[in-house]
């Protein structure tokens, strides 16, 4: 992952100068490699003989053996369960881990994947640990682009942005990964290109898309969305394929389309080229603020999703909001008389 080397080298310099902050906030698009970066960092931080000029861990000390096996007792990860929020009891467990002595390494690493999924109570509980740094603890927080975290949390961390790779870098990395898979079921070049386009060039996300049913499910969802916009099917029918994708992914798709609507309205190109025709039509018939209103609605749905609102209802609500963007066919004056 060549695009990670610049932020990685920068971090190694800081480590070599012994200036590592006690809390790092790694930010970037979904699927850009934030978690991979954080895991590498955690492994480097506990290794007994790291090479800080190249950023490589030794690979054979006791710590390295444990991190390779994924069983290091001083490296803990806290992540949302079933794509919901990080609960307060998870942060309480982190707080006890923070004050306990390391078991085998010289320090402890607590990874929060993802810090943008902390609810208010968990965020406040985490603040205590952030405000009273423990010498042998390094906190690594991950944040997905466009998902806000509390300013009180952000201001106590050093932000470490990971930029998305160039289209060339992304496609080369994806190809290398796919070269190791069964040639018979390997995706075609065009499928790779489409997956990268839908993943906004985040290669790990594109790889996930290509490995599962996502591409087919997404196509079906878009087709239903398009038919609903034309009034050919009911909202209930249109929402069905979104159910298979789940609320989180459905919202992410709608967010992408609303983002494209805003981009097209501003004269730029759409990222999702398959949806470009329909979204271009809507952009020509609606003021720019409608796109932002939809984005706002999607953010509200995401918050509602946390509280177990029915995914189909949320998708239905969004579909109806989108349909309001369709221009109303005006009845000609001559026909009005007949009516």
Which residues lie across from 123 on neighbouring strands? Answer: none
Which of 32, 41, 47, 275 binds Zn ion (CB under 5 A)? It is: 47
- Binding marks (x or -) toward Zn ion, 58..77, rule CB under 5 A? x--x--x-------------
Q: Which stretch binds Zn ion (CB under 5 A): 41-49, 282-290, 300-308, 309-317?
A: 41-49
Q: What is the CA radius of gyration of the chain?
A: 23
State the Cα angle at 88 between 86 and 91, rounded to 5°. 80
Distance, in Å, from the CA atom of 142 to the CA atom of 309, rounded to the nearest integer, reads 26
Which residues lie across from 158 on neighbouring strands? Answer: 24
Question: Would you state the structure tokens that stand for residue 295, as one six-digit string?
Answer: 């984005």
3-state secondary structure of 8: helix
In the complex with Zn ion, which residue's Cβ is closer, 61 or 178?
Answer: 61
- Give the shortest CB-72-to-Zn ion separation in angstroms: 11
Question: Would you state the structure tokens that stand for residue 60, as one six-digit string?
Answer: 């054979």
For residue 156, state whether it binds Zn ion (rule: CB under 5 A). Answer: no
- Give the shortest CB-75-to-Zn ion separation in angstroms: 13
Q: What is the DSSP string of 39-88?
A: HHHHHHHH-SS-BTTTTB--SSSHHHHHHHHT--TTEEEE--GGGSPBPH
- Give the shortest CB-320-to-Zn ion separation in angstroms: 56
For residue 42, state whether it binds Zn ion (rule: CB under 5 A). Answer: no
Question: Would you state the structure tokens that stand for residue 152, as one six-digit string?
Answer: 């009180």
Which of 25, 29, 35, 57 binds Zn ion (CB under 5 A)? It is: 57
For residue 44, state whether it binds Zn ion (rule: CB under 5 A). Answer: no
- Give the shortest CB-97-to-Zn ion separation in angstroms: 22
Binding residues for Zn ion, rule CB under 5 A, total 5
For residue 87, state whether it binds Zn ion (rule: CB under 5 A). Answer: no
- Give the shortest CB-57-to-Zn ion separation in angstroms: 5
Contacts with Zn ion, residue ranges (CB under 5 A) = 47, 57-58, 61, 64
């Amino acid at each position: 992952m060549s695009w990670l080397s610049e932020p990685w080298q920068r971090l190694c310099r800081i480590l070599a100068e012994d200036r590592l902050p006690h809390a790092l906030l790694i930010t970037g698009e979904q699927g850009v490699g934030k978690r991979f970066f954080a895991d590498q960092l955690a492994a480097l931080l506990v290794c007994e003989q790291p090479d800080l000029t190249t950023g490589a861990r030794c690979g054979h000390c006791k710590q390295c053996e444990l991190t390779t096996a994924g069983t290091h007792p001083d490296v803990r990860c806290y992540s949302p369960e079933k794509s919901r929020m990080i609960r307060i009891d998870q942060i309480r467990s982190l707080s006890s881990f923070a004050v306990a002595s390391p078991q085998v390494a010289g320090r402890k690493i607590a990874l929060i994947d993802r810090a943008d999924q902390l609810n208010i109570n968990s965020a406040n509980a985490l603040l205590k640990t952030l405000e009273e740094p423990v010498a042998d603890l390094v906190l690594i927080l991950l944040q997905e682009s466009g998902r806000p975290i509390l300013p009180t949390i952000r201001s106590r961390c050093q932000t470490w942005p990971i930029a998305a790779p160039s289209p060339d870098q992304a496609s080369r990395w994806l190809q290398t990964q796919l070269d190791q898979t069964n040639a018979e079921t390997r995706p075609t070049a065009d499928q790779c290109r489409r997956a990268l386009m839908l993943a906004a060039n985040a290669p790990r996300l594109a790889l996930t898309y290509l490995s599962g049913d996502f591409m087919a499910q997404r196509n079906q969802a878009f087709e239903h969305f398009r038919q609903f916009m034309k009034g050919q099917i009911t909202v209930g029918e249109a929402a069905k394929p979104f159910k298979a994708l789940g609320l989180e992914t459905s919202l992410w798709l709608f967010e992408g389309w609303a983002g494209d609507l805003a981009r097209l309205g501003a004269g730029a190109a759409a990222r999702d080229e398959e949806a470009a025709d329909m979204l271009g039509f809507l952009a020509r018939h609606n003021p720019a603020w409608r796109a932002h209103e939809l984005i706002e609605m999607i953010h509200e749905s995401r918050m509602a999703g946390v509280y177990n609102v029915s995914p189909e209802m949320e998708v239905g609500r969004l579909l109806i909001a989108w349909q309001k963007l369709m221009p109303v066919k005006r009845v000609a004056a001559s026909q009005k008389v007949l009516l």
